[in-house]
Structure 1
Amino acid sequence: MRITGYRSLVTQHDWGRPVGDVNGHISGTATQTDVLVLTTDVGLEGIGVGTHAEIDRVFPSIDGEDPRSVVALYDRMLARVFKLGHAGSVFGTIGAVDLALWDLKAKAADEPLWRLLGARNRHVPGYASALEIALADEQLAEVYGAFADRGYGAAKLKGGRYLDHDLRRLGILRDIFAVNSSAPGLMFDANESWHRSQAVRYVSRLEEQVDLTWVEEPVRRWDTAGMAAVRAGIRAGVASGENLTGIEQLRPLLDADALDIVQVGSSWGITHLLRAAALAHGHDLPVSPIGFTSVIAPAAAAVPNLLAVEVQDVKPPRGLSIDQEVADGGIVLGDAPGNGITVDEELLRALGEGQGWAEVAGPHVRPDRAGLRLVPEADGGALRPAHF
């Protein structure tokens, strides 16, 4: 079996609501989802989901190769971009290709990917994370109520600017998920918007009223000393790692004892997840994948130190069918060979391109004052005092 080519497809994830985080949110209700299809000379096709803008640069390293050599091909892709590095869109492209390669490997073996990778249990524990920053309290309760109806007992809130606002909404989540747990897991995500002193002060105020499980990305992703300082100053655990592109970026945080939970971005692929999880396991730390985790849930099932995967929505992007179910407080994997993803390409061609994430007011653009606030803002939005 040899790789012969690829197709790039585009679909839309219709959330039915604006999504984002403390840095901003999209103006509409749908975002673009990219799909990569690798073709072979035996008719099998591998599906990867995620942006792959650098595919023409990366593809020559796998063209004509046997896709079952997936780990070796992953390293060939890294080697091909050696001089300029593998950050950003390059690492995303490698991740999308890696997902498609693992899909092909499992299909060639006629096995579901989770079983091929050695998992024993098809249930992957999860927590709800609806990217709900733009929702009013009533909508917040409705969206997270749907997760509670599916057995979830833990959830994550986006925030970090308005203390009273965040406390109220954490209370709403606690009440919603109390139906499934006497002590619901409550996580809080600041998305790198704080500096270390602000993070400790803000979280300490939250912890006066709420028992937080972890605080996510309290400071910049590379701020090893800052992460360690926050971890020493609060009761909650510190989680980070989703935006780190390579285990060499993760290692300094582990060496500094700066994390309690190691996070891995789902768009970085399965091989990266397995390597990051092994590195975390060597430090006796749990791992928690982030993002559109349906694509790496089969691999997460095989990770010995898996804590839980983030689940952002109860339905997949349009035109994608995934042999798994959001139920029982997690993701329940099916028995279809490969990663269980099938694509309705006719529907995707009819949809055309969707809305992207990188809007000026959206969550992928860092605001001017991020990391430059010492105190919570007033509910009206004015800084208090103006220059702090």
Structure 2
Amino acid sequence: MKITGYRALTTHHDWGRPIGDVNGVVAAGVTPVPVVILETDEGLTGVGLGSVHDIESVFPAIEGEDPRSVSALYDRMLARVFKAGHAGATFGAIGTLDSALWDLKAKLAGEPLWRLLGARERHVEGYASGLDIGLSDEELAAFYARMAERGFVAGKLKGGRSVTDDVRRLRILDEALRANAEEPALMLDANESWNLKQATRFVSAVERELDLAWIEEPLRRWDARGHARLSAGVRAAVAGGENLTGLEQFTPHFDAGSLDVVQVGAVWGVTHFLRVAMAAHSRDLPVSPVGLTANPAVAAAAAAVPNHLTSEVQDLGSPFGITIDQETVDGGVLLGDRAGAGIEVDEDAIARASVSSEWIIPAGPHVRPTRAGLSLVPGAKDLN
């Protein structure tokens, strides 16, 4: 079997609510979802969700190759762009193709991907995460009540502007999730909006009122020394890594002992997740993939590694025209029996749809505010 080509298309996810973080909000709650369908000379296809940025530069590394050589092909893709660099969205294209390759490999084996990767159980423990900074308190309560109905015992709040607001809103999560646990796990995500002293003051103030399981992305992603100092100064675990593109970018954090929970962006693909998970496991660190909602391939990988802690579940729906063989139950994701990663794509429906969606807008969460991390008081006025 040989890889002969690919089809790239874009569908959308309608979240049914504003989504965002301290850096900004997509008020419409509709975002794009790139899809890649990898073609072979035998007619079998593999599906990956994530990014198509610079895919025309990456694809020649795997064209004409046997798709079963997944790990070797992953390294060929990295090598293909080593001069220009594989960081950012280009790494996303590599991850999307990698996920499509794993989908193909499992289909050829006639097994669900979680089984092919060696998992014993198909249930992936998760936590609820509403991308919720744009929600009112009432909307926040309603979202976490729905997630509590699915059995979740942990939740993550997007915050970082006001200690008072974040404590109040974390209590809303706590109240909703107490339907399933006497002491739910509460996490706070600052999305790289602070400097070290801001983070220390803010987290310490929250911890005087509540117990935090972890503080996520408190500082810039590359600040290993700062993360280590923060971890030593607060009770909460420090979580991060979702925006690190490549195993080598985790090395300074591992050397500094700066991450207590090692996170991996689900959009970066299966092979990257597996490699980071094993590197973390060698240091007795837990791993937690971020953004699992539309990435069943990484969910399958999470089921297979020995140090998976919990995965971020952001929504109960799927992107338009995409059917995923999984359920959100019992506080996590239950993977299905369909061969491959369990993704079906209705290309005709996606082609007929005409929906405007965008992540990268001036007011959105993917655009860093000018004064982020530079204000004495981390307030809404300073961060917008």
TM-score (norm 2): 0.97
Match of 1:235 in 2: 235
Establish whether residue 169 from structure 1 lines up as the match of residue 169 from structure 2: yes
Establish whether residue 270 from structure 1 lines up as the match of residue 266 from structure 2: no
How far apart are the structure 1 equivalents of 2:138 and 2:355?
A: 31
How far apart are the structure 1 equivalents of 2:180 and 2:55?
A: 44
Q: How far 1:376 moved relative to its partner?
A: 4.3
CA contact (8 A) 2:17 2:27 kept: no
CA contact (8 A) 1:10 1:352 kept: no
Establish whether residue 210 from structure 1 lines up as the match of residue 193 from structure 2: no
How far apart are the structure 1 equivalents of 2:100 and 2:191?
A: 29
Establish whether residue 367 from structure 1 lines up as the match of residue 374 from structure 2: no
How far apart are the structure 1 equivalents of 2:170 and 2:381?
A: 22
1:112-131 correspondence to structure 2 within 5 Å:
112-131=112-131
Q: How far 1:301 moved relative to its partner?
A: 0.4
Q: How far 1:372 moved relative to its partner?
A: 1.1
1:296-335 correspondence to structure 2 within 5 Å:
296-335=298-337
How far apart are the structure 1 equivalents of 2:354 and 2:109?
A: 34
Match of 2:147 in 1: 147
CA contact (8 A) 2:36 2:96 kept: yes
Q: How far 1:52 moved relative to its partner?
A: 1.2
1:44-193 correspondence to structure 2 within 5 Å:
44-193=44-193
Question: Any gaps of 5 or more consecutive residues in structure 2?
Answer: none
Query: Quick one: percent identity of the two aligned structures?
Result: 59
Q: How far 1:356 moved relative to its partner?
A: 1.4
CA contact (8 A) 2:27 2:134 kept: no
Match of 1:37 in 2: 37
How far apart are the structure 1 equivalents of 2:41 and 2:146?
A: 44
Match of 1:198 in 2: 198
How far apart are the structure 1 equivalents of 2:61 and 2:355?
A: 28
How far apart are the structure 2 equivalents of 1:66 and 1:353?
A: 36
Q: How far 1:361 moved relative to its partner?
A: 0.5
How far apart are the structure 2 equivalents of 1:89 and 1:375?
A: 32
How far apart are the structure 1 equivalents of 2:42 and 2:257?
A: 48
Kindly tell me: are residues 382 and 98 of structure 1, through their superposed partners in 2, closer, same or farther at Cα, counting changes over 3 Å?
closer
Match of 1:253 in 2: 253
SS across alignment from 1:144: helix
CA contact (8 A) 1:163 1:376 kept: no
Aligned pair count reads: 381
Q: How far 1:43 moved relative to its partner?
A: 1.1
Kindly tell me: are residues 252 and 153 of structure 1, through their superposed partners in 2, closer, same or farther at Cα, counting changes over 3 Å?
same
Match of 2:358 in 1: 356
Q: In structure 1, what residue type is equivalent to 2:41?
A: D
Q: In structure 2, what residue type is equivalent to 1:338?
A: G
What are the Cα deviations for residues 309-355 of structure 1, in whole angstroms up to 9, with x where unaligned? 10000111111100000111000000000000000111100114541
Q: In structure 2, what residue type is equivalent to 1:161?
A: R
CA contact (8 A) 2:224 2:252 kept: yes
SS across alignment from 2:304: coil
How far apart are the structure 2 equivalents of 1:354 and 1:280?
A: 39
Q: How far 1:373 moved relative to its partner?
A: 2.4
CA contact (8 A) 2:127 2:310 kept: yes
How far apart are the structure 2 equivalents of 1:27 and 1:336?
A: 35
How far apart are the structure 2 equivalents of 1:94 and 1:356?
A: 21
What are the Cα deviations for residues 180-230 of structure 1, in whole angstroms up to 9, with x where unaligned? 011101000000000000000000000011100000000000001110111
CA contact (8 A) 2:194 2:378 kept: no
How far apart are the structure 2 equivalents of 1:259 and 1:298?
A: 24
Q: How far 1:4 moved relative to its partner?
A: 0.8
TM-score (norm 1): 0.97
How far apart are the structure 2 equivalents of 1:12 and 1:149?
A: 26
How far apart are the structure 2 equivalents of 1:214 and 1:375?
A: 22
Q: How far 1:374 moved relative to its partner?
A: 3.0
How far apart are the structure 1 equivalents of 2:270 and 2:144?
A: 28
Q: In structure 2, what residue type is equivalent to 1:52?
A: V
Which runs of at least 4 in structure 1 moved beyond 2 Å after TM superposition? 292-295, 373-377
CA contact (8 A) 2:111 2:339 kept: yes
